[in-house]
Amino acid sequence: MNSVLSQLRRIITDGRYPHLLIIGVQKAGTTTLFDMLNHCSNFCGSYDKETGFFIKDVFYKQGYEWYLKQFEQCRRDAIKFEGTPAYIYHPDAAKRIFLFNKHMKFIVILREPATRCYSAWNMFRRFNEFSPNKIFEQFTQYANPSEKEAIRNLLFTEHFPSFKQAVEDDIERYLSRSGDIEPSFVRRGIYFEQIANYLQYFSLSDFLFLEQRELNSPVAIFKKISDFLNVAINVDSMNNPILSNVGNYLGMCAENEETFLLLKDFYRSHNEKLFSQIGIRYDWNESAWVK
């Protein structure tokens, strides 16, 4: 008990420790929010935006000191943060974060899940076509073995799966409760289950939920974050939103559009569970296409 208390005191008083994580979701604007906060003089993001510390065993086994080096460039009084969107999806992340700092605060950017799924599939399709080696070296080579192999197969396959095939395959993995967490095009959009995993360790009040389209209004975003953290936000210059990693995913073919609409139906009940869980309702179940 004393060792736990001493570790907690060290975390609270040690100016090297981050107290804020942007944990998701993939393809919802986490890089944009990371860059926006890094323009605030009292915030300081990690050296690598996506450290992956809490989900990549090769990093996690090196201990907290390895992780804290990601924040060595930050002032001790700065609000330190990082943004790894896979944290919300990975089954081990919540418990590992709790052991690191049970007072952690989280920002989750949500996106209509069918649109998010299509965007993720299109992103990997482009990776497969244009830059598999670069993506593997930057993001995949340090992944856990089973995940790395699955992503490697996607990046380097000669026949990349159609949107329809990718959706059908991942729904089958979900229904069979497959232990393989990748590929995860569809399953990453079942937000209710992922948040429920975190609520085993943290309270709902530890989370700020944003919707991707809110990133177009930075002043309103900063007001929400300021209220959430109970801190003033010193914005150097932010009259217009910073839009990072923006892609164009429109112009679906007829087959993809049909699959997209089937996917909307699949997510409907999951979305309703999410809305009840977080006490916020979005228009995802009413709109055919949410950009």
CATH of the domain at 220: 3.40.50.300
pLDDT of residue 139: 82
Q: Is the Cβ–Cβ distance between 92 and 55 less than 8 Å?
A: yes
pLDDT of residue 15: 77
* The token pair that represents 275 in the structure block: 């809305």
pLDDT of residue 2: 47
Kindly state the greatest CA–CA separation across the chain.
62
CB-CB neighbours of 239 under 10 Å: 7
Domain co-membership, 148 together with 57: no
Domain co-membership, 146 together with 267: yes
Phi, psi of 262 (to 5 degrees): -65, -35
Residue 236 lies in a domain: no
How many domains is the chain partitioned into structurally?
A: 2
Domain co-membership, 87 together with 149: no
Domain co-membership, 196 together with 158: no
Short-list 211, 222, 220, 183, CA closest to 275: 211
Residue 45 lies in a domain: yes
Residue 216 lies in a domain: yes
Bond into 132 cis (ω within 30):
no
Domain co-membership, 127 together with 177: yes
- How far is the C-alpha of 249 from the C-alpha of 106, rounded, in Å? 28
Residues of the chain with pLDDT under 70: 1-14, 236-252, 287-291
- How far is the C-alpha of 49 from the C-alpha of 32, rounded, in Å? 11
pTM value is: 0.90
Helix orientation angle between 254-278 and 191-198, rounded to the nearest 10 degrees: 30
Domain that holds residue 216: 2-111+190-229
Residue 256 lies in a domain: yes
Domain co-membership, 252 together with 225: no
* Bridge partners (DSSP) listed for residue 147: none
Per-position b or e across 159-180, b if 16+ CB within 10 A of its CB? ebbebbebbeebbebeeeeeee
Domain co-membership, 40 together with 90: yes
* The token pair that represents 219 in the structure block: 């002043």
Per-residue pLDDT tens for 64-79?
999 999 999 999 999 9
Domain co-membership, 134 together with 120: yes
Q: Is 210 helix (H, G, I), strand (E, B) or coil?
A: strand
CB-CB neighbours of 236 under 10 Å: 8
Q: Is the Cβ–Cβ distance between 210 and 109 less than 8 Å?
A: yes
